[in-house]
Amino acid sequence: MALRILRHRGWIEDDHIAEALLCCPRDPGARELLEVLIRSGALAVNVANCVLKMTRDHLRTRVGDGRRRRSEDGSLGRLARDRGWLTLDQLEAAVSEQAQLRKIGLRFRIGEVLVRQGALTGQQVRRLLDFQGLLTRFCRLCGSVDLEPGSCRSCGKPLHAAPALGPVVADSELSDDLVSSS
């Protein structure tokens, strides 16, 4: 994804990408590739951080299995309507607001918009996400994040429902900027 953003925006030449890929281990992550490009002088840190942000935003619109987020948003809305928690007018208003937010570059999941509008509670959205298998869980001991219930893959402690509704990149590759703004 990061490569596509870099190429689409014209922020880097193909030969720089090819050189960076030769320096990276097999199948590098976005962070590794961007760090190599920064070290080689082919990419500025602020551009790399922008690419990470754009990649995170794009990944927020997808679920772990790669399906487009829009189909999942519809499923969440349908599930809420089937339970009598949401009217069609409320769902349409939320979808409209979500589209307006995306036009200005803000990516919010439909559940987040519904909670902000007061149409659903955070607990209701968590129950729907859990039903869909999309509820983010975290380990209180080591901080690992996963979508699967059960035990932490790192330390074996039980996973708990995450306090936030927003998705989290589980491998933490894109969780922070390359270099802090300070």
Domain count, the chain: 3
Q: Answer whether residue 63 shows pLDDT above 70.
A: no
Within a domain: 178: no
Longest dimension (CA), the chain: 57
CA–CA separation, 91 and 24 (whole Å): 46
Do 51 and 89 lie in a common domain? no
Domain of 30 in residue numbering reads as 2-60
Query: Assign residue 117 a region: left if phi > 0, alpha if psi is -120 to 50, beta otherwise?
Result: alpha
Do 45 and 80 lie in a common domain? no
- Model pLDDT, residue 178: 52
Query: Looking at the whole model, is its pTM more than 0.85?
Result: no
CA–CA separation, 149 and 140 (whole Å): 14
Among candidate residues 11, 39, 3, 36, the one with its CA nearest the CA of residue 22: 36
Nearest 5°: the CA angle 101, 105, 109 is 55
Nearest 5°: the CA angle 133, 136, 140 is 135
Q: Answer whether residue 90 shows pLDDT above 90.
A: yes
Q: Answer whether residue 173 shows pLDDT above 50.
A: no
H or E element, residue 85: none
Do 56 and 6 lie in a common domain? yes
Contacts of residue 140, defined as CB under 8 A and 6 or more positions apart, other chains included, come to 157, 160
Q: Answer whether residue 66 shows pLDDT above 60.
A: no
- Model pLDDT, residue 144: 79
